[in-house]
Structure 1
Amino acid sequence: MAEKRNIFLIGPMGAGKSTIGRQLAKSLHLEFFDSDSEIERRTGADISWVFELEGEEGFRDREEKVIGELTENTGIVLATGGGSILSKENRMRLSARGVVVYLKTTIDKQVARTQRDKRRPLIADADNPREVLEALAEIRDPLYEEIADITIETDEQSAKLVANQIIEQLGE
């Protein structure tokens, strides 16, 4: 990439943001960041623990700070947390500081990809994770669409294939 621009991946949990982000960064020789991993690194605790201790509001405050700092870099790929777009501040920063790629997936795929993952506080203890994911989608999907420069369906594709599609669309 001649010009060093940022690529920000948004979408629901289980869309493949981290996996695809790593592949994309590798292909483009850019640095990769994951906002959740960065929060864990800074707090020395996993996301579930931060949620438990500080609640979702405390977590979202940390997330906003981390995304604010990370988006000031140039030439990065950033995988954001699924709920990061709830913050108007985050939406503005992501839109203004890079190309926003919405990785779209179905509720069925989300359920399949997250069912054994106990590190997702919003669904970890849910009696019906599908209902939780549907409720989140209703609120979040319009926000993803609002700031997306590129939208890619991830359901039946490998991370490498999705990364290549993103690279193709960035070149257009």
Structure 2
Amino acid sequence: MPRQVNPEDRLALIHDAVIAIAVQSGFAAVTIRAVAQHIGASTSAVTHYLSGRDELLREAIRREIGLLQANAERATAGLDDAAALRAFIEWAVLTRDEQSHRLWLALVLGAGSDPVLREELDRFNAWWSQQIQRRVDGIRPARPELLVDLLNVVVDGLIVSAFDAGQPWAQDRRARLLEAVWRAVGQ
């Protein structure tokens, strides 16, 4: 009798494998064969659920980004715009783990040559920009565009600096830098 496989469990396993491979080796290393090998199954066990590599990437990235977005929404729920802006930025650089930062870097690096990754990164960036802009608009700073740009550079810089140094800056160091940014912008 064939073994019964729960489709949702299998898809979650496949998505987790995509993310694990991307974090470890970059998205270029994500192939149907590599995913199948990672989960200990045949390639047909992967293609039974997903039609090809593009769908494999798209679905795994959307699942992962959806989880990140849900975490960000929980971090900012019920806060006024100023507090929500601060909580959102702190969520991005203080609470996300190294795997999330590595996934982000792999996505950014892969987006230059892979249209699926570019599309998903653009979707995430549109969401990110809307989150920042909405909160900045609510606090009405003198130069909102400058504040948006500054926050984006600080977040990107803190995430990327982890790879330049070989490991993320200590959380207290990142928190001190953010505190200096908040003081500088009057928040």
Q: Same fold (TM over 0.5)?
A: no
Larger Rg, first or second structure (1 or 2): 2
Greater relative CO (CA pairs within 8 A, separation 6+): 1
Structure holding more strand per residue: 1
TM-score, structure 2 normalization: 0.33
Structure holding more helix per residue: 2
